[in-house]
């Protein structure tokens, strides 16, 4: 199953992708997490990307396309994967279609997380993330038991550098200008399924699961390959 989670920053893509990954074993491929890992490791790519991310801008298409191209070669992607935060431009979507078609594959479903901008500022400015295991918290709705300490692994819980009001507003502008055209792109391909992302997390998850195609193109491809 090849899934894309499409939606504005804070719409819940990462939250739902983590849960689906835990249940289905399709890895979550988050370009944001990959870029932050590069920043933490102090790589050249990370140093260049940090400036753009801290300002709420997208990093160049070629950088993220290259990361995804390499990542999907890993054996854990053989049964499918969830793309979280990629593609984010029409050019990235076209590159993805191209790299999948070279493997005889295609995107099965694009789940669009629908929510108004007004609800996102509060979600993002209150978000906290474990610096080690990436467990997510929210200062109001789901705080850690001990302030600043991860319930799961005991490491510090931090605020992302781009989760301040000024940068959140910029990220939302960038989403509407550069990413929202993907809604039409995937709608025309008949792959788009919008869900109401304002509901409680469990309800959103039920909707995500209900949105999955019964049988994926990926699965059909593997069945045909084994039948030969």
Q: Which of residues 30-49 bind ligand AP5 (CB under 6 A)?
A: 30-32, 35
Question: Which of these segments, 9-17, 38-46, 185-193, 211-219, binds ligand AP5 (CB under 6 A)?
Answer: 9-17
Residue 87 host element (H or E): none
- Residue nearest to ligand AP5 according to CB distances in the complex: 32
Q: Which of residues 81-110 bind ligand AP5 (CB under 6 A)?
A: 85-86, 88, 92
Catalytic residues: 13, 88, 127, 160, 171
Which residue lies nearer to ligand AP5 by CB, 54 or 219? 54
Q: CB of 186 within 8 A of CB of 4? A: yes
Q: Which of residues 165-204 bind ligand AP5 (CB under 6 A)?
A: 171, 200-201, 204
Binds ligand AP5 by CB under 6 A, chosen from 4, 6, 10, 82:
10
* Interatomic CA distance for residues 93 and 62, integer angstroms: 12
| Sequence-separated (6 or more) residues with CB below 8 Å from residue 195 | 111, 112, 113, 114, 204, 207, 208, 211
Binds ligand AP5 by CB under 6 A, chosen from 134, 136, 212, 222:
136
DSSP 3-state percent helix, strand, coil across the chain (nearest 5):
50, 15, 35
Which residue lies nearer to ligand AP5 by CB, 57 or 180? 57
Give the residues across from 6 on adjacent strands: 112
E-only strand ranges, the chain: 2-6, 28-30, 81-84, 109-114, 127-130, 136-138, 157-158, 192-196
Give the residues across from 5 on adjacent strands: 84, 111
| Footprint of ligand AP5 (CB under 6 A) | 7, 9-15, 30-32, 35, 52-53, 56-59, 64, 85-86, 88, 92, 123-124, 127, 136, 138, 141-142, 162, 171, 200-201, 204
């Amino acid at each position: 199953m090849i899934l894309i989670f499409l939606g504005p920053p804070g719409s819940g893509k990462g939250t739902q992708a983590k849960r689906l990954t835990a249940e289905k074993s399709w890895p979550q491929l988050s370009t944001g997490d990959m870029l932050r890992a590069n920043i933490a490791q102090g790589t050249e790519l990370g140093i260049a990307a940090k400036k753009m991310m801290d300002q709420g801008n997208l990093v160049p298409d070629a950088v993220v396309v290259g990361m995804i191209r390499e990542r999907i070669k890993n054996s854990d992607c053989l049964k499918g994967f969830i793309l979280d935060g990629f593609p984010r431009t029409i050019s990235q979507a076209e590159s993805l279609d191209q790299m999948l078609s070279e493997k005889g594959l295609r995107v099965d479903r694009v789940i669009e997380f629908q929510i108004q901008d007004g609800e996102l500022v509060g979600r993002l400015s209150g978000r906290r993330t474990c610096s080690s295991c990436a467990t997510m918290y929210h200062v109001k709705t789901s705080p850690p038991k001990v302030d600043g300490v991860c319930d799961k692994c005991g490491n510090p819980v931090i605020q992302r550098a781009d989760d301040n009001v000024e940068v959140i507003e910029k990220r939302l502008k960038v989403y509407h200008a550069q990413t929202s055209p993907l809604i039409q792109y995937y709608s025309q391909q008949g792959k788009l399924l919008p869900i109401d992302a304002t509901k409680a997390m469990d309800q959103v998850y039920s909707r995500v699961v209900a949105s999955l195609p019964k049988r994926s193109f990926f699965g059909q491809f593997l069945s045909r390959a084994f039948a030969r």
